[in-house]
Structure 1
Amino acid sequence: MIPLRQNYGISEETADVGTAIAGELQLMDPDVRASRSLAERLLEPEFIEVGASGRRWTYEEMLAALPELSGGDSDGPCHETSSMTGVVLAPGVVHLTDESVLGGNRARRSSLWRRKHGETAWQMYYHQATPVPAGEGQNRS
């Protein structure tokens, strides 16, 4: 991967947010969800998710379930995301938010991405999805 900030004058914070967004989008890709080795590179071993159902997932539970979850099959419904934004909370920590639709169900999503000191790879540390009530307008806070 080409370091954006070096080649295009993009700030380090902007590049870090962009890298986290790219990772988030990769995790929505059915091919990545179907491949344990690809998903492992994007999730920290300490990863935790609180899904839209309220279920708490660990790293191992998520890796085992990803291929079978909605959005994991290229022939089934895929994640459609909008309004993805991010902010650097501290060096090596990016917070992303977006709204997604999967199989007609909307959710507001929040994730924390970390890059450990001395490493170059960004990995998702935490993710939470909150269902959006039917009939509620899009992209409200």
Structure 2
Amino acid sequence: MDDAEDDVNQAIAGELQLMDPRVRASQELATQLLDPEFVEVGGSGRRWTYKDMLAELPHLLGSSADGLRYEPSEISGVLLAPGLVHLTFETLLGERRTRHSSIWRKRDHAAGWRMYYHQATRVPPEVD
């Protein structure tokens, strides 16, 4: 495995961790995976900051151990530059299908890979 592939795999691992209800319910764990400059444009069009996301994540769908869980598919990534990975994938959360794009960055080895940007777009049922 080359370095680029390893970097992409590490970003994918972080993405999957952020879908885990235990991580979503824990600000401490989520802090380790979100970049301090994190921004998201959610499926609803809402803009989320790092502070907003950490406050709300435990209360969002997919954050309860006994609730709906994210089912990811077609996850792939590309190394854009050293320390910068772009991922794309789809999820199902109950009946809600969403397409995602995220950028992960690694500023130093101690902090590891963290999500810098995330975009989610809901997919209407009639769209392939």
TM tier, smaller: over 0.9
Structure 2 partner of 1:67: 58
Cα distance in 1 between the residues matched to 2:66 and 2:109: 36
SS at match of 1:67: helix
Task: State percent identity of aligned pairs.
Answer: 58
Give the structure with the higher percent strand: 2
Structure 1 segments, 4+ long, off by >4 Å, are none
1:134 matched to 2:113: no
Q: What TM-score, normalized to structure 1?
A: 0.88
| Structure 1 spans left out of the alignment, 5+ residues | 1-9
Q: Does 1:104 align with 2:104?
A: no
Distance in 2, matches of 1:27 and 1:126, equals 13
**Which of the residues 32, 38, 45 maps onto 2:36?**
45
Letter in 2 for 1:45: P
Across the aligned residues of Structure 1 and Structure 2, the Cα RMSD in angstroms comes to: 0.8
Paired with 1:39 and 1:14, the residues of 2 have a C-alpha distance of 24
Number of residue-to-residue matches in the alignment: 127
Q: Supply the distance in 2 between the matched residues of 1:33 and 1:12 (Cα, whole angstroms).
A: 29
1:68 CA displacement: 0.4
The code of the aligned residue for 1:27 comes to L
Any idea what the Cα deviations from partners look like across 1:5-35, whole Å, max 9, x if unmatched? xxxxx10000000000000000000000011
Matched, 1:119 2:109: yes
User: Alignment partner of 2:59: what SS?
Assistant: coil
Q: With structure 2 as the length reference, what TM-score do the two structures score?
A: 0.97
Distance 1:69 1:126 in 2: 18
Match of 2:80 in 1: 89
- Bigger RCO (CA 8 Å, 6+ sep): 2
Unaligned segments of structure 2, at least 5 residues: none
**Larger-gyration structure (1/2):** 1
